[in-house]
Amino acid sequence: MRKWLVAALLVVGGWPAATQAQMRTVTMSRQLEDADEVRVSVEYGAGRFSVRSMDTGLLYRMNLEYDEDHYEPVAEYEGHRLDVGIESIRGGIGRRSQEGARFDLELARGVPMNLDLEFGAVRADVDLGGLALTGLDLSTGASESTIDVSEPSTSGMEVARFEVGAAEFTARHLGNLNAQRIEIDAGVGSLTLWLDGNWRADAHVAIDMGLGRLELRVPEGLGLQLRKDSFLTSLDSEGLVKLGDTYQSLDWAGAARKVTVDLDAAFGSVKVVWVR
């Protein structure tokens, strides 16, 4: 049986959109009871989507604007597992177009979290800065997504995973994830990965890319090694020295922090851009 845990529920009427959809706004939250690790699962199909950290004594707070004729909010907590989002009244997370729909989620800073984010045809603005991430799985479909880790994670993880569909995808401050390994599985689209942030140790980034464009933005002073296994993929390798199938930055040997990127790509282009 679904256990709804809603500390606050605010319903601000509905109004007919151009398609006569009944849009409803709902706010839900839950008090923070302890600092034990929480597994957080977030699912959202279509609309605007954002994630932020907060420091208010709450475990989470979410604001939803959705078509109440086709969807209902989800907020379940049991056994240190939190499931939030929206689902179709007929079951599933629902990917029907929702003009004007949005989902804004805030999560508690300092609470260890294994975070699973799944969203579909959305415009996503996700900032994971300040969260104590022990694990991360992020999956997105045909979206326009910006992922930022604006502050270093106060925890650490072995692997952070990103699965990107037909998307325009930008990830910033990946060093702040404090992950030993970052895995990115991308289909068709445009990827911009910023390797800036606070790398606490040497790390490994594995990118499996289909058809698309990849741009790696690398801060000066970070040692970069690029190992490329690709078919018909062009590489703009300015600032790198080629050694067989491996490319290394000029300061690789003496760099205080090093990141190795393994790239398996089919078609497309790869560009390395050095930033200050």
CATH for 23-275 is 2.160.20
Task: With beta carbons less than 8 A apart as the criterion, state whether 174 and 151 touch.
Answer: no
Higher-pLDDT residue of 142, 256:
256
Q: What percentage of residues in the chain have a pLDDT greater than 70?
A: 88
What is the per-residue pLDDT across 89-113, written as a single tens digit (0 to 9) for each?
A: 865 554 554 567 999 999 999 999 9
Say if strands 246-249 and 240-243 run parallel, antiparallel, or are unpaired.
antiparallel
| 1: confidence class by pLDDT, cuts 50, 70, 90 | very low
| Whole-number pLDDT of residue 196 | 98
Domain extents in the chain: 23-275
Q: How far is CA 159 from CA 133, 177, 182, 214, in A?
A: 11, 10, 6, 21
Q: Are strands 38-54 and 246-249 parallel, antiparallel or unpaired?
A: unpaired
As a whole number, the mean pLDDT across the chain is 87
pLDDT at residue 188 tops 70: yes
Q: pLDDT band for position 12 (50/70/90)?
A: very low
Looking at residue 199, its pLDDT comes to 97
What's residue 229's pLDDT? 82
Whether pLDDT at 13 is above 50? no
